[in-house]
Structures are given as structure tokens and as C-alpha cells.
Amino acid sequence: MTLSFSVLGSGSAGNCTVVSLHGSGEPVHILIDAGLSPRATAKRMLPLGLTLDDISHILLTHLDRDHFYPSWVNAVSKHDITLHAHMRQRARAVSCGIDFKHCELCNGHIELDSETHVQTIPLAHDELGTVGFVLEHSGTRFGFATDLGRVSALLLEQFDNLHGLAIESNYDRQMQLASPRPGYLKQRIMGGKGHLSNDESLEAVLQIADQSALSQIALLHLSRQCNCPTLVTRLYADRARHLLDDLTVTSQYLATAMLPITSDRSGPLHPRQPQPAEQLRLF
Ligand SMILES: [Zn+2]
């Protein structure tokens, strides 16, 4: 195992994932997003044996409040952490008060160290967009994408030959439509620049699994009002049973265990059986 991760919390009240890289030297620990307060992040990392001083980098998908909690502006300086934000977020980073002594702006590729490379993938979300990542460490590839309005061809192209995947599964379409939310908000979420529904996410996961050798699949950012972990698990039981053993549905309130990503198996771990509709298309 060279790479493992724990989703410390995921949802509209704060997103944060810790990734541990076990290379040839001392392990390196990074965060993807910092939407929990530094204090809450430290508390949720404690059972993993980690403190904020163990974190060397934070990759930011974007700078909405649920992905970047304001007091990290001071915490990164105190704990000597380097932030990485996408160029398109520059003005937003300035308005958040981020000191560029502790923040590198990226556009494309980030080299964290000689064994760890990160590819950024621009994604549609609100006005400024967000970014997905493929984190590659000693040959192990981990794809991470949240708050994406739609699954683009570029994302599917980059999320190839992965060994681990974390992707949002934000809402159940029926629950969203039936919710008391105002129409403009439903439109913002469902209109291609908001979030992925469970069905949209599942379709992406199935395609990525077919072109990868996934040992972990984590579903992120479930809506508390318009989704339900049991519903999502049932969806996978019905339509992607071959992926259930590798599936983790993450929570806003509880950190997942440290999930190890293995890269020693080649090809899709559990080749998917054609679904009835696909079988029909074959003829
Ligand atoms: Zn979010």
C-alpha cells in the first residue's frame, strides 16, 4: 500500500479528506479541502494518530465556505502548510484573506514531491468552477471530484486507470424535486453547474470502474435534505452490486476509517455484467 485516505467529513457543513502517502521516506500527509475548522479537523484526525503539524499541503477544489473554513488562513501559517488553489480562484483567495506566502496557484500540474504528482481537472460549478484531482503517488492513482455540475468528457478521460475514487453523489432526483426548496435553488443544483445526482454519479462510477482497477470508491457530499445513505446503498445493490464491497458512503458527522488503496491488481477488479438495456443495445 502506498496511498490511503480518510474522509473526515463531507457535506454542505464542511468537507475535508486526509490522504497519507507512504513512499520511500517518511509518510507525507495532505488534506483535500479544509471545510471543517482546524480544531474539528484535528479532533477527527486524532484517532488516526495525526495532528495538524503532520499536514504539509492542502489541495483546494474551490473556496466556498464548506471547502475552506476561514480560520485556516492563520492555521496554515502556524502549522507551516502550503495551500494549493487553482488560478481561476485567485480573486476569491484574495477576498478570503489568503496570504500568498502560504498559497501556490496552479493550472494543470502540481508536483508535491519527487514521488507525488497531481493533475488538476477544471469542472463546472457556479460562476468560478471547481477542480478535480488525480493524485498519483509511486504509481498509485487516486481520483477526487466533488461539487461538479456535470460529468465532462475531460473528467472521464483523466479518471482512467485509477486505483481509488472519491466522487460526489449529492442528491436523489425525486427527493430534490419534492423538497420545499425554492425553484431557483433546485435549478442551480440540477442545472449542470451545481451538483451530481445519485444516478449521474453512479453512471460515472460505472464507467470509471470499467476503465480502472478500483480498490476503494467513496461517495461524497450527500445532501442531508435530499439524499439518504440507505437509498444510495440500495441503488448500488440494485445496479452495481459488483462494486458494493469497495464502496464507502461518507458522512457529514463521522470520519471514515483510513481506507487503503491498493494498486497491485490489474484491470477492473469486478468486471461488470452487461445490464439488460446494454445487452439489448448489443443486438
Ligand atoms: Zn460543497
135 C-alpha to center of ligand 1: Å? 20
Q: Closest Cα partner for 198 from 220, 165, 225, 181?
A: 220
Which pLDDT tens digit goes with each residue over 55-106? Answer: 999 999 999 999 999 999 999 999 999 999 999 899 999 999 999 999 999 8
Global confidence as pTM: 0.91
Cα of 109 vs centre of ligand 1, distance in Å, is 23
- Domain, as residue range, for 242: 3-282
How many Å lie between the centroid of ligand 1 and the Cα of residue 134?
19
Predicted confidence at residue 174, as pLDDT, reads 87
How far is the centre of ligand 1, averaged over its atoms, from the C-alpha of 269 (Å)? Answer: 30
- 10 CA from centroid of ligand 1 (Å): 8
User: Ligand 1 centre and the CA of 66: distance in Å?
Assistant: 5
CA of 245 to the centre of ligand 1 (A): 26
| pLDDT attached to residue 232 | 97
pLDDT of 140 over the 90 cut: yes
CATH code, domain carrying 146: 3.60.15.10
Number of structural domains in the chain: 1
